[in-house]
């Protein structure tokens, strides 16, 4: 029964996230960018734009220019999250790839860094007057959710270990539609429920910054408006007022 509930929950969460994100990406992609508005100075070649986008997505270059503290906490959080996610691949892949095995020891450190960075980001929302002013309930709750996911994960790691062999069997069963029983450990159930919640809200929340950044015209356009005529795919002002 429990296994079925969790399995259905995770399938549903995955479905909502994929469908929701797919719809959003489709919307972004089909909405025209009528004018050239790259924030200058901008790259003058497509290759340059790829480099610019890479430095934004991997190193948060603009944020680094803007505010060193937010950059530090934000970048550490995202990097740590990436490592933690990679570490979790061992629960989904059989055999476990070499690279995933290699980063196992890093994963725990990354988890700690992630929680610390989240705490720092949250502290800013209370301690810095202007950040407090712009923070709404959803901003606080998102950090709370991510922190709770991290905390429940550490709960399993350090306080109440769960049977990870069974957990892996459960996830492989999910992937191959051959359900296996899930251990009924509270920390595990909380962890999975929170992750499912995160997946549910992903396409309806500010987490849309993840696909959004790739579609940002100020960052993904080439500075070549004098060399190549930019013709939007639809006529300007398609519908009269």
Q: Which residues bind other proteins (CB under 8 A)?
A: 24, 27-28, 31-37, 39-44, 56, 60, 62-63, 65-67, 70-71, 74, 124, 128-131, 133-139, 141, 201, 204-206, 208-209, 212-213, 215-219, 223, 225-226, 229-232, 234, 236-239, 241
User: C-beta of 233: minimal distance to other proteins in Å?
Assistant: 10
User: C-beta of 149: minimal distance to other proteins in Å?
Assistant: 17
Indicate the SS3 state at residue 136. coil
Quick one: 63 or 189, whose CB is closer to other proteins? 63
Structure tokens at 110: 């990354």
Quick one: 36 or 157, whose CB is closer to other proteins? 36
Residue 6 contacts residue 182 (beta carbons within 8 Å): yes
User: C-beta of 166: minimal distance to other proteins in Å?
Assistant: 36
84: Cβ contacts below 8 Å, ≥ 6 apart: 107, 110, 111, 114, 153
What secondary structure letter does DSSP report for 207? Answer: G
CA dist 119 to 4, 24, 59, 85, 155, Å?
34, 30, 21, 19, 17
Listed in sequence order, the DSSP H helices in the chain are 2-30, 46-59, 61-66, 68-88, 98-102, 104-127, 129-134, 137-154, 164-175, 186-201, 209-212, 217-220
Locate tokens 């508005």: which residue? Answer: 37
Quick one: 58 or 160, whose CB is closer to other proteins? 58
User: C-beta of 172: minimal distance to other proteins in Å?
Assistant: 33
Quick one: 47 or 230, whose CB is closer to other proteins? 230
Quick one: 45 or 104, whose CB is closer to other proteins? 45
User: C-beta of 59: minimal distance to other proteins in Å?
Assistant: 10
């Amino acid at each position: 029964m429990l296994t079925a509930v969790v399995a259905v929950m995770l399938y549903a969460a995955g479905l909502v996230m994929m469908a929701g994100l797919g719809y959003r990406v489709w919307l972004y992609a089909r909405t025209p960018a009528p004018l050239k508005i790259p924030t200058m100075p901008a790259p003058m070649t497509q290759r340059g734009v790829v480099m610019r986008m890479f430095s934004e997505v991997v190193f948060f270059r603009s944020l680094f220019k803007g505010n060193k503290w937010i950059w530090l906490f934000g970048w550490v959080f995202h990097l740590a999250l990436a490592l933690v996610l990679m570490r979790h691949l061992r629960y989904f892949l059989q055999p476990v790839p070499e690279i995933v095995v290699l980063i196992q020891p890093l994963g725990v450190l990354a988890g700690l860094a992630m929680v610390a960075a989240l705490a720092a980001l949250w502290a800013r929302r209370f301690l810095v007057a202007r950040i407090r002013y712009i923070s709404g309930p959803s901003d606080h709750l998102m950090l709370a959710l991510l922190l709770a996911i991290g905390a429940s994960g550490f709960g399993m790691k350090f306080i109440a270990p769960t049977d990870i062999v069974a957990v892996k069997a459960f996830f492989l069963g999910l992937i191959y539609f051959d359900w296996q029983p899930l251990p009924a450990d509270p920390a595990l159930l909380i962890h999975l429920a929170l992750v499912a919640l995160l997946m549910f809200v992903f396409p309806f929340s500010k987490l849309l910054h993840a696909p959004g950044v790739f579609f940002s015209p100020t960052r993904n356009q080439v500075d070549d408006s004098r060399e190549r005529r930019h013709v939007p795919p639809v006529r300007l002002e398609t519908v009269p007022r």
